[in-house]
């Protein structure tokens, strides 16, 4: 029993990390149908910038805020100098641009920061909380809470605010959105800025658990993308559920099947789910765009 609980705690810890990354995909996808593969690099920038500002003597809370600002600036620059000039080229071209941007950001981080691993102190106490023979780190709860808070904010932003509606409209039909008076360029730019901020916050929250280095973005983006697909890309709730599910799948297959094949088991389950529900768990029915 305590084993089961421990696997679940491990799954939730890792899953919360994936959920935070997956949430970052949601917004940009909702505004321009693009899957931003540089999302993992936003996560890396958030963590690494905080670490290096901290090393330079900046108090950590301030360093974290500055890291978010820096990452947002990078997100805006990515939109302004790479995405915007290529608008009208279709989603595939833009996705490939984001892959290029992710390689560029990784290379730049290697030069600006370094190639070593770094950590941050946990936000609230370092001692594990023990429940029925299993243990979980307080920082895992912080990450989980962070994922839920971002989820609520994001959901109310997309569903309840006019700007959020404008983003969805832009993704659905850019020309029609412009005709009803939406500044589509600013809308897409804003979605990059907010996604960058989500990524940076994710990076800061997970660094005390998962550590950070210049190249963590690639795998996080891959896992986050898998989580977002599982939950239904574009759905904020789906991103969180997908992330947690993926984490739990990995933990249970590592615990009960074999640690060698845990990634394979997790991805197999995702393939099966997507075969049965091609739009993911919360993807909803395809919307006809007329």
Partner 1 sequence: MLAYAKTGAFIALLLAIGAGEARAQVRLGAVLSVTGPASFLGDPEKKTLEMYVDDINAKGGVNGQKLQLVVYDDGADANAARTFATRLVEEDKVVAMVGGTTTGATLAMIPVFEEAQIPLISLAGAIQIVEPVRKWVFKTPHTDKMACQKIFADLKQRNLTTIALISGTDAFGKSMRDQCVAVAPQAGISIAHEESYGPRDSDMTPQLTNIKGKPGVQAVVNPGFGQGPAIVTRNYRQLGITLPLYQSHGVASKQFIDLAGPAADGVRLPAAALLVAEKLPGNDPQKPVVVSYTDNYQQKTGQPVSTFGGHAYDGLMVFVEAAKRAGSFEQAKVRDEIEKTKNFVGTGGIVNMSPNDHLGLDLSAFRMLEIKGGDWTLVQ
* Total Cβ atoms within 10 A of residue 73: 13
Nearer to partner 1, 10 or 26 (CB): 10
Q: In the bound complex, what is the minimum distance in angstroms from residue 55's beta carbon to partner 1?
A: 11
Looking at residue 136, the DSSP 8-state letter turns out to be: E
Within 10 angstroms of residue 163's Cβ, the number of other Cβ atoms is 14
Q: Compare residues 210 and 227 and give the one whose CB is closer to partner 1.
A: 210
To the nearest whole angstrom, how small is the minimum distance from the Cβ of residue 259 to partner 1?
A: 5
For the four alpha carbons of 60, 65, 71 and 74, in that order, the dihedral sign comes to negative
Q: Give dist(CA 24, CA 18) in Å, integer.
A: 10
Q: Closest distance between partner 1 and the C-beta of residue 284, in Å? A: 31
Task: Write down the least CB distance from residue 183 to partner 1, Å.
Answer: 40
- Supply 20's token pair: 């935070």
- Least distance (Å) from partner 1 to the CB of residue 87? 34
Nearer to partner 1, 143 or 177 (CB): 143
Q: Helices 39-55 and 60-78: crossing angle, nearest 10°? A: 140
Q: Residue 124, Cβ neighbours under 10 Å: how many? A: 10
Rounded CA separation 7/251 (Å): 6
Calculate the CA dihedral of residues 79, 205, 229, 221 and round it to 10 degrees: 60
Q: 114 or 159: whose CB is closer to partner 1?
A: 114
- Least distance (Å) from partner 1 to the CB of residue 119? 5
Task: Give the binding site for partner 1 (CB under 8 A).
Answer: 3, 6-7, 9-10, 13-14, 17, 115-119, 126, 128, 130, 135, 137, 206, 209-211, 213, 216, 219, 251-252, 254-255, 259-260, 262-263
Distance CA 22, CA 233 (A): 9
Closest CB to partner 1 among residues 135, 173? 135
**Is the CB of 225 or the CB of 252 nearer to partner 1?**
252
């Amino acid at each position: 029993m305590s084993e089961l609980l421990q696997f679940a705690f491990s799954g939730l810890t890792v899953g919360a990390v994936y959920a935070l990354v997956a949430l970052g995909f949601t917004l940009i996808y909702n505004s321009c149908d693009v899957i931003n593969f540089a999302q993992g690099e936003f996560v890396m920038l958030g963590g690494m910038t905080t670490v290096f500002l901290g090393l330079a003597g900046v108090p950590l809370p301030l360093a974290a805020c500055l890291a978010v600002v820096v990452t947002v600036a990078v997100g805006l620059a990515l939109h302004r100098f790479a995405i915007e000039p290529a608008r009208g080229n279709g989603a595939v071209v833009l996705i490939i641009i984001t892959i290029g941007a992710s390689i560029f950001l990784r290379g730049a981080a290697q030069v600006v920061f370094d190639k070593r691993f770094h950590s941050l102190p946990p936000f609230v106490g370092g001692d594990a909380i023990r429940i029925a023979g299993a243990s979980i780190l307080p920082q895992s709860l912080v990450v989980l809470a962070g994922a839920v808070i971002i989820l609520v904010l994001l959901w109310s932003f997309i569903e309840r605010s006019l700007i959020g509606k404008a983003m969805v409209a832009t993704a659905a039909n850019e020309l029609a959105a412009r005709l009803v008076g939406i500044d589509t360029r600013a809308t897409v730019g804003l979605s990059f800025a907010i996604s960058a901020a989500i990524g940076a916050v994710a990076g800061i929250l997970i660094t005390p658990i998962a550590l950070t280095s210049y190249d963590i973005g690639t795998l996080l983006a891959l896992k986050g993308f898998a989580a977002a697909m599982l939950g239904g890309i574009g759905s904020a709730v789906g991103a969180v559920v997908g992330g947690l599910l993926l984490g739990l799948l990995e933990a249970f297959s590592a615990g009960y099947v074999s640690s060698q094949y845990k990634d394979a088991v997790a991805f197999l389950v995702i393939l099966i789910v997507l075969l049965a529900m091609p739009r993911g768990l919360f993807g909803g029915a395809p919307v006809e765009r007329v």
